[in-house]
Amino acid sequence: MMSVVGSQPFIKPMQTSPSVSPGIQRRHTLPASEVRPLNTQDAISVFEIEREAFISVSGECPLHLDEVRHFLTLCPEFSMGWFEEGRLVAFIIGSLWDQDRLTSDALTLHKPRGSTVHIHVLAVHRTFRQQGKGPILMWRYLQYLRCLPNVRRAALMCEDFLIPFYRKSGFKVLGRCAITVANLTFTEMWYPISGHAYMRRNSEAIRFPQHPLTLPLTKTDEQVDV
């Protein structure tokens, strides 16, 4: 789907900026692009993007604002946000699940001992769509999951028109989902997390830290398109 940019896409040392004279120094210090785990302070921005992306299409949001805060409190390490100069432009929110198939409980629960990551939502701000950001962020997220020793697969539910999009990211159709929302039905899809043994042994060194770390996107990432 997209080019590989390295086996450790998240932990890249910050490059020291060359010394410049005060007259040409940048007026702000926000990185042009960064990927980091979300926190509860991001909840409103998350919900605004989600609401605009889904309400106009299906009339339903995967997560309401209180549910966004709920998961960003319980398991922020299973979220990922893409920021451009401090502005959230795309995100993923997930949680752990402990059964083979998704049930209605998976919509609200986080099972810390589970080995399946339930991806609740992937959304991109309307201004930044059609730029390949959704697939790039999903790729980064799946590579991150490969570094977690207890995660064995990712699962999600989607409407049928989104199946080709997720197939491009490597997801496979599992079958009709048991969950319905209003009059909407869904297909359940899954992705095997078969991380390399080396990556799993060294996962403590490359997983998201407890405190957000600036994770600059590479130029190669910006050039990938779908």
3-state secondary structure of 94: strand
Phi (first) and psi of residue 23, to 5 degrees: -70, -25
pLDDT tens digits, 34-57: 999 999 999 999 999 999 988 766
pTM, to two decimals: 0.76
Amino acid at 59: G
| Contact assessment for residue 187 and residue 175, using Cβ atoms and an 8 Å cutoff | yes
Task: Identify the pLDDT of residue 30.
Answer: 60
Q: Is the pLDDT of residue 17 over 70?
A: no
Strand, helix or coil for residue 129: coil
97-128 confidence digits (pLDDT tens): 999 999 999 999 999 999 999 999 999 999 99
Q: For Cα atoms 83, 85, 90, give the angle at the middle one, nearest 5 degrees.
A: 20
Q: What's the full length of the chain, in residues?
A: 226
The dihedral region occupied by 5, where left means phi > 0, alpha psi between -120 and 50, and beta the remainder, is alpha
Instruction: Centre a 10 Å sphere on the Cβ of residue 191 and count the other Cβ atoms it contains.
Output: 19
Catalytic residues, by residue number, are: 95, 109, 120, 122, 166
Contact 187, 160 (CB under 8 A): yes
